[in-house]
């Protein structure tokens, strides 16, 4: 890994990809590479078509949710922290065993960094994630009685938790209409013209502004799943895309 800069959330250095903890808008990383390879559409989705855009995603998937396995807000928080620079499949494989022995902040804290490491070794950046999770468990017990807080400020005060992770937890665990922008949503927003932007923050702000209220709660899941399975990075499957005619991208696949 080349050393480029220090993430403002934690002492982790990155140069060629998006910070997994804070999703800070450093454009020489993932965001800039996505924009170079998949530049924003030259036009945007028409305002009158945005509700139809979401309506079709809703029709295709009426009850979208995260693909991470969890049973409690705490387990969701752990899974989301672990999912940075890792696949949901690898995280679920690790947490299935981890949550069987450490489903709560108390039991996970009791494992210690070395004990936790044994369960998450197959996940990228596992050493840093183990340290952050143990520190997070300690703060949850000290400040919040072992419960996961339902406010952005309190969540982002936890080690390893940045805006993206906080957005996922607030949306999925607590039903708040936040939109966490990951690389899939960043790509989809720019490619389709739904909410083009040069940074994660810019895309998030635009999505919140243009997404009708009735769709905002599930927008994150619809967009991430759309990007993961249809509007893929290398070969988007435009022929089976439910919003292809609304998408502003000029180079659709046949």
For the segment 12-22, what is each residue's pLDDT rounded down to a tens digit? 333 333 333 33
- pLDDT of amino acid 43: 74
DSSP-H helix ranges across the chain: 30-37, 47-60, 73-83, 88-101, 105-120, 126-144, 152-156, 163-172, 183-192, 200-210, 213-229
- pLDDT of amino acid 216: 97
26 — pLDDT class (breaks 50, 70, 90):
very low
Task: Compute the mean pLDDT over every residue in the chain, rounded to the nearest whole number.
Answer: 87
Q: Within 10 A of 234 (CB to CB), how many other CB atoms are there? A: 6
Distance CA 180, CA 98 (A): 25
Task: Please report how many Cα atoms fall inside a 13 Å half-sphere around the Cα of residue 158, on the Cβ side.
Answer: 35
Q: Out of 4-8, 38-42, 134-138, which region has the weakest mean confidence (pLDDT)?
A: 4-8
243 — pLDDT class (breaks 50, 70, 90):
very high
Residue 148 has what DSSP assignment?
P
Active-site residues, by number, are 164, 182
Burial class (CB in 10 A: 0-12, 13-18, 19+), 200: buried
Considering the domain 73-172, what is its CATH architecture? Orthogonal Bundle (1.10)
pLDDT surpassing 80 at residue 214: yes
pLDDT surpassing 70 at residue 149: yes
Buried b / exposed e across 108-122, counting CB within 10 Å, b at 16+? bbebeeeebbebbee
Mapping DSSP to helix (H, G, I), strand (E, B) and coil, where does residue 14 land?
A: strand
For the segment 154-171, what is each residue's pLDDT rounded down to a tens digit? 999 999 999 999 999 999
């Amino acid at each position: 890994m080349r050393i480029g800069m220090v993430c403002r959330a934690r002492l982790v250095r990155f140069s060629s990809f998006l910070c997994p903890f804070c999703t800070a808008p450093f454009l020489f990383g993932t965001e800039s590479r996505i924009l170079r390879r998949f530049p924003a559409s030259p036009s945007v989705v028409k305002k009158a078509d945005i509700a139809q855009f979401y309506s079709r995603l809703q029709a295709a998937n009426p009850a979208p949710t995260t693909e991470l396995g969890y049973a409690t807000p705490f387990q969701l928080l752990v899974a989301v922290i672990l999912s940075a620079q890792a696949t949901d499949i690898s995280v679920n494989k690790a947490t299935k065993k981890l949550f069987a022995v450490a489903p709560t902040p108390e039991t996970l804290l009791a494992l210690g960094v070395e004990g936790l490491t044994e369960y998450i070794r197959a996940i990228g950046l596992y050493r840093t994630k183990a340290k952050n999770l143990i520190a997070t468990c300690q703060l949850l017990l000290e400040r919040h009685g072992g419960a996961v807080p339902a406010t952005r400020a309190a969540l982002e005060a936890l080690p390893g938790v940045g805006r993206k992770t906080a957005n996922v937890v607030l949306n999925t665990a607590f039903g708040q209409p936040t939109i966490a922008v990951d690389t899939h949503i960043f790509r989809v927003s720019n490619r389709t013209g739904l909410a083009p932007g040069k940074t994660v923050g810019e895309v998030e702000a635009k999505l919140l502004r243009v997404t009708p209220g009735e769709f905002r709660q599930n927008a994150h899941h619809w967009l991430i799943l759309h990007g993961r399975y249809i509007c893929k990075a290398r070969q988007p499957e435009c022929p089976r895309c439910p919003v292809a005619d609304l998408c502003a991208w000029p180079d659709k696949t046949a």
